[in-house]
Amino acid sequence: MTTTVHGHCDDRFSAVRDAFQANFDNGLEDGASVAILVDGSLVVDLWGGVADPSTGAPWQEDTICCLFSATKTMSSLCVLTLADRGAIDLDAPVADYWPEFAANGKEQVLVRHVLAHTAGLPGWSDPMTLDDLYDTRGAAAALAAQAPWWEPGTAAGYHAVTQGYLLGELVLRVTGESLGTFFRTTFAEPLGAEYHIGTGPELDSRIAPVTPPTHVLGGRSTPGSIGDRALNNPVVDAALANTERYRRIELPASNGFGNARGLARAQSVISHGGTVDGTTFLSEAGVDQIFREQWVGPDLIQEMDTRLGIGFGLNGPEVPISANPRACFWGGWGGSVVIDDLDARTTFAYAMNRMGDGLDTDFRAIGLVLAWQASAMA
């Protein structure tokens, strides 16, 4: 049976609608959404499929789902904003704001190291349980007490889980608010962006449960590798996202809930140079901080080459996301992705509930991105 795709799509971007429909026709999706914002206008806003395969409930206009590490773009946006306001110095030691963090040789771990996955803290040195992860401040304190796994700034390794604890504690120390609260009051509510870091029970009826991939978070890491050590302590199954306990806490690296429209709306602050609908959230200089290159080369955790700025992956031969040089991105476990193209004043976002087997972007999103890029160049 053919899946009906709902929403609107400007004629110029009809190739995106065709690619989105093809993902359903080829049996690659349960439910999904895709959105593109260009110069303040929502030129693509599409959704379709089923939100819950067990019941057949359809994916609606207001359906949201867990977007895992796409949430890191929201956490980065918060820290960049605090830096823009002068509350945080990206080049200062984390210990300036969190004194206990200086323990065990971390006096020179800088804020930008945490944002760029070069801090040397991609996992916990002591054994961790899932219960430990739910104790967010305790998990952050454990990271503050341990030694870095490499000299900060000299290597990169994806801080897939730990970055959220580190940035969450940093924002709390600086503002007195949780990162999720700061994001909600500073960005989500003023922008009308449907994106939540942690959710309350009032949203449960609109959350599409994820269909987990065939492996756990660290299931593809080379046994005995640094990636194995980082991603499998503890073992994390994506099905946790379907539990009440996971939804109710704030995990700023991984438990953001939204849809493509909300993801694009919030991230348009970046692609639009810091100002959206006449309101300035971040100065142009603050946005430019993203493009201070922090690392080019192998990622020790993901075992692939990467190019990293401050808080975002950067366009380049390692991950070519745009014909324009000033473009940045991040993806979420299973396939969600957001791309900010500053030269085109465009944000692209994709969200889905059936997870692919990659830690981040998969071929469904790639097909949509290629269709968008071809349409933009036509």
Domains of the chain, residue spans:
5-377
pLDDT, residue 361, reads: 64
Enter the tokens of residue 103: 């323990």
Q: How far is CA 255 from the centre of its chain?
A: 9
Residue 232's pLDDT is what? 95
Class of domain 5-377 (CATH, top level): alpha beta
Q: What is the pLDDT of residues 254-286, one digit of tens each?
A: 999 999 999 999 999 999 999 999 999 999 999
Residues of the chain with pLDDT under 50: none
Q: Is the pTM of this model over 0.95?
A: yes
Is residue 180 a contact partner of residue 255, using CB atoms and an 8 Å limit?
no
Q: Give the model's pLDDT for residue 360.
A: 62
What is the pairing mode between strands 64-66 and 256-258? antiparallel
Structure confidence by residue, pLDDT tens digits, 164-210: 999 999 999 999 999 999 999 999 999 999 999 999 999 999 999 99
- Mean pLDDT, all residues of the chain: 96
Question: What's the half-sphere exposure (Cβ side, CA atoms, 13 Å) at 28?
Answer: 19
Please name the amino acid found at residue 117.
H
Owner of token pair 């901080």: 289
Rg (CA), the chain: 19
C-alpha 76/C-alpha 182 separation (Å) is: 12
Query: What pLDDT is recorded for position 359?
Result: 65
* pLDDT at site 378: 76
Of 354, 335, 79, 70, nearest in space to 197 by CA? 70
